[in-house]
Structure 1
Amino acid sequence: MLKLIGVIVSILLIIVIFLRTPQENVGLSSFATKSDILGSPSSAERFLNILTVFGIAVYFGVALSLNLTS
Structure 2
Amino acid sequence: MLKIIWVVLSLILIGLIFLRTPQNQGLASFSTKSNLLGSPSSAEQFLNNLTIILMISYFLFAIFLNYSN
Common fold by TM > 0.5: yes
Whole-Å separation in 2 of the counterparts to 1:43 and 1:54: 16
| Poorly superposed stretches of 4+, deviation over 6 Å | none
In structure 1, C-alpha distance between the alignment counterparts of 2:24 and 2:52, rounded to whole Å = 22
C-alpha root-mean-square deviation of aligned residues, in Å? 1.5
Give the 3-state SS of the residue equivalent to 2:43 in structure 1: helix
TM-score (norm: length of structure 2):
0.70
Instruction: Say which one has the larger Rg.
Output: 2
- Gapped runs of 5+ residues in structure 1? 26-40
Q: Normalising by structure 1, what TM-score?
A: 0.70
Q: Which runs of 5+ in 2 are unaligned?
A: 26-39
Cross-structure match for 1:20: 20
Q: How many residues were matched structurally?
A: 55
The structure whose residues are more often helix, as a share, is 1
* Higher RCO structure, 1 or 2 (CA under 8 Å, sep 6+): 2
Separation in structure 1 between the aligned mates of residue 24 and residue 64 of structure 2, nearest angstrom:
39
- Matching residue of 1:9: 9
Residues in 2 aligned to 1:68 and 1:12: alpha-carbon distance in whole angstroms: 23
